[in-house]
Amino acid sequence: MRPPVPGRVVADPDRRFYAWVIDRLIALVAYAVAGVAAYFALIRPGHTVLGVVAVVVVALVVWFIGVLMTGLAGVTPGKSIRGLQVVSVATGEPIGLGAAFARQAIVGLGGYPTLGIGDATLAWMATLDGTGLRRAWHDRVVGSVVVDVRPQPVAPAPAEEIPDRVVNLTALRLMPAEASAPTPVPTPPPAPRPTQAPAQAPSPARVPPPVPVPVAASVAAPAQPPAPTSPPPRWRVTFDTGQSFVVAGLALVGRSPEPRQGEQAAHLVPLQSNDMSLSKTHAQFGVVPDGTLVVMDRGSTNGSVLLRGGVAKPLPPRQPATLLPGDRVRFGDREMAVAREA
Kind and range of the H or E element at 26? Answer: helix 13-38
CA 238 from chain centre, in angstroms, equals 20
pLDDT at position 170, please? 44
Alpha helices, H only, 167-295 = 169-174
Q: How many domains does the chain have?
A: 2
**Would you state the pLDDT for residue 90?**
85
Asked if 14 and 136 sit in the same domain, the reply is yes
Q: How far from each other are the two terminal CA atoms of the chain, in whole angstroms?
A: 39
pLDDT value of residue 76: 92
Per-residue pLDDT of the chain (342 residues; tens, 9 = 90+): 444 555 568 888 888 888 889 988 998 899 899 999 989 998 988 889 998 999 899 989 998 998 999 989 989 998 889 888 898 888 888 999 999 899 888 887 766 555 455 667 777 777 777 777 888 888 888 888 888 887 655 455 454 454 444 445 444 444 444 444 555 656 666 656 655 545 555 555 565 666 565 544 444 555 666 666 667 789 999 999 999 999 999 999 999 999 999 899 999 999 998 888 899 999 999 999 989 999 999 999 889 999 998 899 999 999 999 999 999 999 999 999 999 987
Task: Compute the distance between CA of residue 120 and CA of residue 337 in angstroms, rounded to an integer.
Answer: 37
- Please state, in angstroms and rounded to a whole number, the distance separating the CA atoms of residues 48 and 190: 127
Q: What is the CATH number of the domain that holds 261?
A: 2.60.200.20
CA separation for the pair 216, 212 (Å, rounded): 13
Q: b/e for 222-232, b at 16 or more Cβ within 10 A?
A: eeeeeeeeeee
Between β-strands 311-315 and 283-287, what pairing exists: parallel, antiparallel or unpaired? unpaired
E-assigned strands of 122-199?
144-148
Q: Is 80 left (phi over 0), alpha (psi -120 to 50) or beta?
A: alpha
Q: Which amino acid is at 329?
A: V
Shared domain check, 128 and 15: yes
Q: Is residue 157 part of a domain?
A: no
In the chain, DSSP finds a helix count (H) and a strand count (E) of 7, 14
**236 shares a domain with 141:** no
Q: Is residue 44 part of a domain?
A: yes
**143: alpha, beta or left, given left = phi > 0 and alpha = psi -120 to 50?**
left
Tell me which of 117, 148, 179 is where a domain ends. 148
181 domain-assigned: no
Q: What integer pLDDT is reported at residue 37 of this predicted model?
A: 92
Domain check: are 21 and 125 in the same one? Answer: yes
Specify if 170 maps to a domain: no
Helix (H) / strand (E) element for 312: namely strand 311-315
Q: Do 28 and 143 sit in the same domain of this protein?
A: yes
Spatial contact of 20 and 11, defined as CB atoms under 8 Å apart: no
Angstrom distance (rounded) from CA 296 to CA 280: 15
Residues 127 and 238 both lie in one domain: no
Range of the domain at 31: 9-148
Query: How much is the pLDDT for 26?
Result: 93
Q: Decide: helix, strand or coil at residue 41.
A: helix
Note whether 138 and 235 are same-domain residues: no
- Helices 117-127 and 97-111 cross at an angle (nearest 10°) of 120
- The answer to whether residue 255 sits within a structural domain is yes
Whether residue 271 lies inside any domain: the answer is yes
What single DSSP character describes residue 47? -
Among 148, 183, 208, identify where a domain stops: 148
What's the Rg (C-alpha) of the chain?
38
Question: Domain check: are 106 and 13 in the same one?
Answer: yes
Q: What is the pLDDT of residue 218?
A: 47
pLDDT value at residue 12: 80
Contacts 24+ apart (CB under 8 A), 259-265: 260/9, 260/152, 260/155, 261/3, 261/9, 262/155, 263/155
Query: What does the alpha-carbon distance between residue 319 and residue 327 come to, in Å, rounded to a whole number?
Result: 17
Indicate whether 156 belongs to any domain.
no
Query: Is residue 235 located within the same domain as residue 122?
Result: no
Q: 104 lies in a domain?
A: yes
Among residues 120, 148, 176, the one where a domain terminates is 148
